[in-house]
């Protein structure tokens, strides 16, 4: 399983934007399509809300890709 650590700057990032920022897809629109298709899980559960607020400590998975969202301590 491929793992990406995403350092969160601020309180949250919208799910479709997280997919774009980590390079999983080319645009927020492509991220919305992945979410709408039921391909994305947040903390192990299928997530269909495209702009779901992802916070530090949450894990997003897509196939064999795991995105761990960490607090940016800078």
**What does pLDDT average to in each consecutive run of 10 residues of the chain (74 residues)?**
94 96 91 95 97 97 97 80
Q: Chain centroid to CA 15: how far?
A: 5
Name the CATH topology of 2-71. 3.10.290
Query: Domain coordinates of the chain in residue numbers?
Result: 2-71
Whether the Cβ atoms of residue 10 and residue 69 lie closer than 8 Å to each other: no
pLDDT at 74: 64
Q: Which two tokens stand for residue 15?
A: 């799910």
Contacts of 74 (CB under 8 A, 6+ apart): 9
Whether the Cβ atoms of residue 52 and residue 31 lie closer than 8 Å to each other: no
Contacts of 72 (CB under 8 A, 6+ apart): 7, 8, 9
Confirm whether pTM is higher than 0.75: yes
């Amino acid at each position: 399983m491929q793992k990406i650590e995403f350092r969160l700057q601020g309180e949250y990032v919208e799910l479709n934007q997280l997919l774009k920022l980590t390079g999983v897809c080319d645009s927020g629109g492509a991220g919305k399509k992945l979410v709408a298709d039921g391909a994305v899980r947040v903390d192990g559960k299928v997530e269909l809300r495209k702009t779901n607020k992802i916070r530090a400590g949450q894990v997003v998975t897509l196939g064999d890709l795991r995105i761990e969202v960490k607090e940016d301590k800078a």
